[in-house]
Amino acid sequence: MTVPLIDPFQRPISYLRVSVTDRCDFRCVYCMSENMTFLPKKELLTLEELDRMCSTFVRLGVEKLRITGGEPLVRREIMTFFRSMTRHLESGALKELTLTTNGSQLERFADDLYAAGVRRVNISLDTLDEEKFADITRWGRLPQVLRGIDAAQKAGLRVKINTVALKGFNEDELVTLTEWCASRDMDLTWIEVMPMGDIGNEDRLGQYWKLDDLRQSYAQQYTLSDLPENTGGPARYVRLEETGQKIGFITPLTHNFCESCNRVRLTCTGELFMCLGQEDNADLRGALRNHPGNDAPLEEAIRGAIRLKPKGHDFDYSRQSVDGRVSRHMSHTGG
């Protein structure tokens, strides 16, 4: 029997997030600079290598795969990869195959994703105002994303909206966004902006909207009940009695969530990051490419990496400077 992946702090690793590309059709101001240099194609894991990599993790006990990026749906032939993961859902080894997307390509792919076994998607959307949307994403257009959301729901996918909480930008849309999500039976999760990557001149402390403050704003408008749910990640949830909807708060900076962390992240070049907030990583691509047809070295490299998973991250805004800053972009590790 395969020994499951357990890290040095006795946390079982059952969740893998995979970035399948560093490219994107948007340039969100908190995520990328306008002129990004992307990786040459040969650096990327091929779709076959992604399959081998993910299948190995599944064999070692990973039950949930989240595909992300960059924008996962701009990777060429990405549906081939999704379809290749269907066999793990059918065997029961994989419990969930899901993705995080900006929604721009969903009109094209929602039905195929459902057919491949995807049942839920997280769609990132920070504003319902067309002009503000174009400002924050630089290259994105709101109507295209709204059509993508329609297509996803029509295909039968459950949609959760992820919104980055940005001071002075979408503070005034708290109720609008909440009611819009409620009217479409979508949950909503707010994410605190994290200090990742060089993104030009943006002032991160200026962007930082503490989710404790946001929670208080909710409490002024709605009756909140805390939900005990713990997904092993940084999200905490409340239910709004008035709308019945679930609101999530991802607060990696305000609260430490590391004690129950069950996840690791694979980049599109095959580096495994054991913690979103640390630079430590392990190269799995070598173990994969140098041993075609033999997964034993890859399994050993994965086990070795998990043994190095740190206890937690060091992001800290409390001293009014951005400490614990990580130089890579979110699009590299996958959000």
Length, in residues, of the chain? 335
Cβ atoms < 10 Å from Cβ of 258: 18
- The strand order across the sheet containing 96-101 reads 224-227, 235-240, 246-250, 187-192, 158-165, 120-124, 96-101, 64-68, 15-19, 263-266, 271-273, 281-283
Contact 73, 109 (CB under 8 A): yes
How many residues contact ligand SF4, by CB under 6 A?
12
Q: CA–CA separation, 208 vs 211, rounded Å?
A: 9
For position 101 contacting ligand SAM by CB under 6 A, the verdict is: yes
Q: How far is the CB of 226 from ligand SF4 (least distance, A)?
A: 28
Please, are residues 124 and 150 in contact by the beta-carbon 8 Å criterion? no
**Subset of residues 246 to 285 that bind ligand SF4, contact rule: CB under 6 A:** none
CB of 36 to ligand SF4, least distance (A): 9
Distance from C-alpha of 178 to C-alpha of 143, rounded to nearest angstrom: 19
If contact means CB under 5 to 8 A according to the sort of partner, which of ligand SF4, ligand SAM, none does residue 32 touch? ligand SF4
* Residues tagged in the binding site annotation for S-adenosyl-L-methionine: 30, 70, 124, 194
Q: What is the widest separation between alpha-carbon atoms in the chain?
A: 59
Cβ proximity to ligand SAM: between 44 and 287 the closer is 44
* Residues contacting ligand SAM: total by CB under 6 A: 19
Residues making up the annotated binding site for [4Fe-4S] cluster are: 24, 28, 31, 258, 261, 275
Within 110-139, the residues that bind ligand SAM by CB under 6 A are 124
Tell the smallest beta-carbon distance from residue 93 to ligand SAM (Å): 25
* Residue found by looking up tokens 């690791």 in the block: 264
Residues 6+ apart with CB under 8 A from 261: 11, 232, 233, 275, 309, 312
The least CB distance from residue 328 to ligand SF4, in Å, is 13
At residue 166, what is the residue type?
L
Give me 40's structure tokens: 């040459």
Judged by CB under 6 A, which stretch of 24-32, 141-149, 168-176, 179-187 contacts ligand SF4? 24-32
Single out the residue of 5, 13, 18, 24 in contact with ligand SAM (rule: CB under 6 A): 24
d(CA 246, CA 171): 19
CB of 333 to ligand SAM, least distance (A): 8
DSSP state of 144: H
Q: CB burial class (10 A; 0-12, 13-18, 19+) of residue 290?
A: exposed
Residue ranges of the annotated binding site for GTP are: 17, 66, 100, 160, 263-265
> Which of ligand SF4, ligand SAM, none binds 27 (CB below 5-8 Å, type-dependent)?
ligand SF4
Distance in angstroms (rounded) separating the CA atoms of residues 37 and 34: 10
Task: Select the binding partner of residue 196 from ligand SAM, ligand SF4, none (C-beta < 5 to 8 A, by kind).
Answer: ligand SAM
Applying the rule CB under 6 A, the residues between 95 and 114 that interact with ligand SF4 are 102
The binder of ligand SF4 chosen from 16, 28, 166, 326 (CB under 6 A): 28
With b meaning 16 or more CB within 10 Å and e meaning fewer, what string describes 198-226? ebeeeeeeebbbebeebbeebeeebeeee
> Does 31 engage in binding with ligand SF4 (CB under 6 A)?
yes
In the complex, the residues that contact ligand SF4 under the rule CB under 6 A are 24, 26-28, 31-32, 69-71, 102, 124, 331
The binding site for ligand SAM (CB under 6 A) comprises 24, 30-31, 68-69, 71, 100-102, 124, 162, 164, 191, 193-194, 196, 330-331, 335
